[in-house]
Amino acid sequence: MRDKIILLLAAGLVIMGGNKAAATSFGRNITIFDGSSGSGSWHGTNEDHETEPGMVGSQAWDLEGFFLKGHTLTMAGGFNFKDGVSQYPSFTMGDIFIDTNGSYGRPAAPPGYSAANGNFTYTGNFGYEYVVDLDPANETYSVYKLDNDKAKVETVYEKANESGNTPDDPSSNPWRYVEGGDPVSGFQGLTMTYYDPFDDGDANATDNGLTGGTHYALGIDLSFLTLAGHSDFVAHATMGCGNDNLMGRGTAPVPEPATMLLFGTGLIGLAGVVRRKRSGAGTA
């Protein structure tokens, strides 16, 4: 009996491990197309293979999508989240800003804001109530609540990317969090899911419909939204120039502790042993 249980649990772990390795889908694609497409293949109707009109259109500047699976938000792009583009070292990847009430972007710009070329710091949150402050180099992140009266954020370099005037056509701003947010307890210095770069043809690309060459992806935990009583959210991310503006809209689900899943799997395994033993006894 004990041997059987150990065998079943071992088999269960192998199956679970197999599932994990095969589960390359990042979940549902929740990307919002910004509606400001120009002509040509790089300013089309999909976010993958699209940068903002007038900007350099290439995989190196392409942000490809936000994906949601459970409470994990995954961001993918051709832009190198750790190293950026070598000729433009100042245009690093920005942070992930989260709106929780449907007001965000240029309509919610800070007092005194005006579009201008250059990276400028403003006191204000552009309507984003939270920021996931990414540290891709160390594969960690921290979450801050952004008070519009005291949080400081930095704008994108290219004025042409600050043109959004409606929630459906939001500005690329802000680029990154600077300081002044309130740390969200339990969400400081967390380890992100960082994927090794993958090419077209890799399961991570094909399972998520990503095209164009080399891709980068990272995942973060959105449970802080649910814990704070929020459900619907809008996510925003860009790089220092604002060459591409990535937006997503989703609903944060109730967190499911992994331990409950493991506990459940163990019970199913035990039930299988009992059932077998009973049926074996019946036929003997």
Q: Counting contacts by CB under 5 A, is residue 127 touching Ca ion? A: yes
Residue with the shortest CB distance to Ca ion: 212
> Nearest approach, Cβ of 17 to Ca ion (angstroms)?
30
> Nearest approach, Cβ of 118 to Ca ion (angstroms)?
21
Length of the chain as a residue count: 284
**Closer by beta carbon to Ca ion, 204 or else 269:** 204
> Nearest approach, Cβ of 274 to Ca ion (angstroms)?
51
Q: Counting contacts by CB under 5 A, is residue 158 touching Ca ion? A: no
Is 64:76 a contact under the CB 8 Å cutoff?
yes
> Nearest approach, Cβ of 255 to Ca ion (angstroms)?
22
Q: Counting contacts by CB under 5 A, is residue 162 touching Ca ion? A: no
What is the sign of the dihedral through the CA atoms of 123, 102, 45 and 38? Answer: negative
Q: Please pick, from the candidates 26, 57, 60, 62, the single residue that binds Ca ion as defined by CB under 5 A.
A: 62
Q: Which value, to the nearest 10 degrees, does the dihedral of the CA atoms of residues 246, 250, 254, 259 take?
A: -40
Is 100:252 a contact under the CB 8 Å cutoff?
no
d(C-alpha 169, C-alpha 92), whole Å: 23
Closest CA to 94 of 141, 159, 53, 56: 141
> Nearest approach, Cβ of 47 to Ca ion (angstroms)?
4
Please give the single-letter amino acid code of residue 243: N
How many Cα atoms are found within 13 Å in the side-chain-facing hemisphere of 237?
29
Is 244:51 a contact under the CB 8 Å cutoff?
yes
d(C-alpha 58, C-alpha 236), whole Å: 20
Is 123:150 a contact under the CB 8 Å cutoff?
yes
Is 112:122 a contact under the CB 8 Å cutoff?
yes
Q: Counting contacts by CB under 5 A, is residue 68 touching Ca ion? A: no
Residue 98 φ/ψ, nearest 5 degrees: -125, 125
Q: Please pick, from the candidates 29, 30, 50, 144, the single residue that binds Ca ion as defined by CB under 5 A.
A: 50
**Closer by beta carbon to Ca ion, 109 or else 269:** 109
The partner residues of 166 in beta bridges, in order of sequence, read 169
Q: Counting contacts by CB under 5 A, is residue 48 touching Ca ion? A: yes
Q: Counting contacts by CB under 5 A, is residue 78 touching Ca ion? A: yes
Q: Counting contacts by CB under 5 A, is residue 174 touching Ca ion? A: no
**Closer by beta carbon to Ca ion, 97 or else 269:** 97
> Nearest approach, Cβ of 253 to Ca ion (angstroms)?
20
> Nearest approach, Cβ of 57 to Ca ion (angstroms)?
9
**Closer by beta carbon to Ca ion, 30 or else 269:** 30
Q: Please pick, from the candidates 57, 91, 92, 99, the single residue that binds Ca ion as defined by CB under 5 A.
A: 99
Scan residues 214-253 and list those touching Ca ion (CB under 5 A). Answer: 244
d(C-alpha 215, C-alpha 42), whole Å: 16
**Closer by beta carbon to Ca ion, 218 or else 269:** 218
Binding site for Ca ion (CB under 5 A): 47-50, 62-64, 78, 99, 101, 103-104, 127, 212, 244
